[in-house]
Amino acid sequence: MGSSDRKKKEKKKDFQKPKLKVGKSKPKASNFTDTSFKAKSIVLQQQLSETAPDVVERFKHQLSLTSSRTDTQRRDALSYLTGQLSTNPPTNPVGTSTLLQKVLPLMPDSSKSVRSQLLKLLQQLPADEVRPHLQKAMLYIRGAMTHLSQDVKDDGLNYMEWLLDIAGEDVVASPGCWVKPLKDLMSVLGWTLPTAPSQATKGGWTTAPRTTFGSKKFGHSFPRQMMVLAKFLELGFKPETPNPWTPNDWVSGISTVPRTPDPFGYLGLFKPPRDEDGEIYRNREDRQDIFARRFMDAVEAGVDMAKKEGGAAGRAAAVLDKALRDGMGDYERALRVDDDEEGMWTGYIM
């Protein structure tokens, strides 16, 4: 009986109007939502722009990503730049000089994919625009060829072949690009002349170098190194084609602009004097002379040892031997003043 009366009273409450007292507000409902707040928004300036970044800005942005710490970003950036350079006409708003300055340090990169993509990018560059930067490119190529990692060394050979393909004759005639690469190739091959020890050490040890071939993991690198050396020597010993003389040569030799990079570099007017390794060897005879004095015996001994191995190494040695015979077959050592006779010119004004 009591429960039914309670239920009736609860039903009546739903239909009763609350008596409002003066000075008191109406009570809020249980599901009331306050909508008096104000929303604050952050607006970026780029969101207001309806146009996307142009090609120049995207190119510069991707070029800056080549120095990223992530291998994937470096590879993707190089891939984008390669695609822009492969278009017709090529898109390169920063110029080849700036591009090479950013990408050449990636030659000894630790990532294989980055080095492979870099080679594809370099192959898209015009040869005429790369020629003024041969010395800088050779510096990084030599660093890659003499790297501690064998994989980087192999890719260094790829870079060397690329440079020889686009400007081989200019490379061998550039300052420091004949003797220094030869020294690096000889060091990589392990071909050095054993020098007689001045004083025997304890236990009978000497300082004579030892050459080993046939590495199990990187045995394929040895024949390829010889092939690159053979190509380098072929370009260095290539006979120069004489141009027929015309009476206009008197004027053209004075008025025309030289086409070779650093044409007066041999004078050494604005640079410190170079040593024998960094000297310019512009003609074939000078290159033959320095090669005969410093590398001929070591290369011949190395070729003979490689021929005995047979296989890929023997075939590569045969190619190198042919390049050596073709390039040095007509060499005759010029009569020069011996070191012991340098004093005979003292007091003479030359």
pLDDT of 287-315, one tens digit each? 999 999 999 999 999 999 999 988 899 99
What pLDDT band is residue 60 in, cutting at 50, 70 and 90?
very high
Assess whether pLDDT exceeds 90 at residue 25. no
The answer to whether the CB of 272 falls within 8 A of the CB of 176 is: no
Q: Which of residues 217 and 179 earns the better pLDDT score?
A: 179
- Of residues 234 and 47, more confidence is placed in 234
Q: What is the pLDDT of residue 282?
A: 83
Mean pLDDT of the chain: 81
Residue bearing the bigger pLDDT, 324 or 339: 324
pLDDT band at 36 (very low <50, low <70, confident <90, very high): confident
Q: What is the mean pLDDT of residues 250-261?
A: 70
Convert the pLDDT of each residue in 66-108 to its tens digit: 999 999 999 999 999 999 999 989 999 999 999 999 999 999 9
Quick check: 345 pLDDT over 50?
no
Query: Is-above-0.75 flag for pTM?
Result: no
Q: Does the pLDDT value for residue 139 go beyond 90?
A: yes
